[in-house]
Structure 1
């Protein structure tokens, strides 16, 4: 059992004023049998009203608008969370894929989590599974084998992928970060017919050398008819422990995006994310990441360059 104090700050900045910013956030730690939310506070620029709801996957969702013109938006999520993953022990679970048949027949949700994505490189997924060998293996053994394969054959490299990188591209370069490895493991599990879902959250190992520590993290949960959903982290090749804090679940990253939205205006935006984690022993860890966003189109870039040139001319005339 462990208790963490986490502060997650998402900061958008715009080089020109924008308005009517409409946003959807999933920054609320999950209440489930292994995790208790002891305290929670949400702070947003201009203190807009936040409308709360629950999505299809049971995640708490917040929606808010900032209508006035602004050049910066900050979303600060503060939480105190207690985690106890030892309530579930994957090693004692001997269920097999065939044991899932009745479960999937009763649940549309489990069926949906069992469908692999349609990709061009599905043959590579099939080759990986053939190399691993699935005959007579339990769900747990298959998940462990696939996780170990990703950990061994894919290189953890920051900055080489973005949230828009496709599964085909990840299989091509065999490099990426936690989000990419989670998507590969999802494809492997679902190809086997095992329900699997994407998990967004944090890993808080107090600087123990695990990959992805101190920042937003992603892993996978596989479904067993014996114990239900069990978390496995292919980035570190481990089953989730007391230092994995869960925010949201879904089919893929798109269902779990911490912040997404739109705005009116012509401006370039930058995004930085700061995650600060406080531990029970009084130690503290903080990491700041500048997030690589999708590049604007050539047409939009030309308009931005035109505005910048006009502004520079006005400044020169005033001097």
Structure 2
């Protein structure tokens, strides 16, 4: 699928601000499931961009606006070509009938702990409380049922989707996984953090993914404004590697998903963040437009 994505972030300040220092993570990664063929970035007021890769391999652009200004606008335009991920049947074929206990046993080894340390430890958003541990343990008896790691992850994603209600008014950008246990509702960011925390509670490396999910044409149109920005999870499955799961939507992560980057939790992959010198408040407006090119 060929997608054109426009992302506009605009800050309006109550008074003039100066020395605004920012970094943005809005460049789609290129991997075996997607390729970014073109991207343009505009900053108003005009500013020079500096690019680098962060610790997790995400492309970061940084810039500074030193002169007084009352509005900051960041516009990105990109073209991304995506393809579907492996089907459950192909994933099963790659596992080649290996006993489930072998994979679970490897995840408990020192080799796995050293290799994936940053994706196994609890974080501020993906905290592992007694409530989170209890929910993770309730998914199923993986030992008694001899369930594979992939099967357990699929069941975990489905359970979150079934037991928690999607509600944009229920949580904030600061909501943690443990808060979700009590609220029983939230948005994609919250669902992802809860799944990550549950994975880590069972020694499965898991990371937070930020990106876009195109559903506009499924809703009777060609553009997608309100639901385009999205978050999901990548968890490590022995033999298969990093596999994608969306605890918010039932459809598998495939050609309708565009990955921007990943980190331990939301804090590592905030799309736009910065500091400035000045007094007064600010208002933020974000507009995302995803369109599918006609084949």
Q: TM-score, normalised by structure 1?
A: 0.81
Give the aligned partner of residue 5 of structure 1: 4
Match of 2:136 in 1: 129
Following superposition, the deviation at residue 169 of structure 1 comes to 2.0
Relative to structure 1, is the Cα distance of residues 35 and 121 closer, same or farther in structure 2, using a 3 angstrom cutoff?
closer
Is the CA contact 2:211–2:259 (under 8 Å) kept in the aligned structure 1?
yes
In structure 2, the gaps of 5 or more residues are none
| Structure 2 partner of 1:236 | 249
Deviation at 1:216, TM superposition (A): 1.0
* Number of residue-to-residue matches in the alignment: 279
State the alpha-carbon separation in 1 of the partners of residues 239 and 263 from structure 2.
21
Structure 1 residues 257 and 109: CA distance shift in structure 2, 3 A: farther
Matches within 5 A, 1:1-319: 2-87=1-86, 89-92=90-93, 94=95, 96-101=103-108, 105=111, 108-117=114-123, 122-133=129-140, 134-135=142-143, 136-208=146-218, 214-281=227-294
Q: Secondary structure at the match of 1:22?
A: strand
Contact 1:40 1:78 in 2 (8 A): yes
Report the RMSD for the aligned CA atoms in angstroms. 2.3
Instruction: State the Cα distance separating 1:212 from its structure 2 match.
Output: 9.6
SS, match of residue 208 in structure 1: helix
SS, match of residue 239 in structure 1: coil
How far apart in 2 are the matches of 1:140 and 1:213? Answer: 31
Residue 212 and residue 75 in structure 1: after superposition, are their counterparts in 2 closer, same or farther (change >3 A)?
closer
Question: Which protein has the larger Cα radius of gyration, Structure 1 or Structure 2?
Answer: 1
Unaligned runs of 5+ in 1: 283-319
Partner SS state of residue 133, structure 2 = helix
Instruction: Tell me how far 1:131 sits from its aligned partner.
Output: 2.2
User: How far 1:168 moved relative to its partner?
Assistant: 2.4
Higher relative contact order (CA 8 A, sep 6+): 2
Q: Give me the whole-angstrom Cα distance separating, in 2, the residues matched to 1:245 and 1:159.
A: 25
Query: Do 1:40 and 1:77's aligned partners in 2 also have CA atoms closer than 8 Å?
Result: yes
Distance 1:234 1:120 in 2: 17
Q: 2 CA distance for matches of 1:65 and 1:256?
A: 19
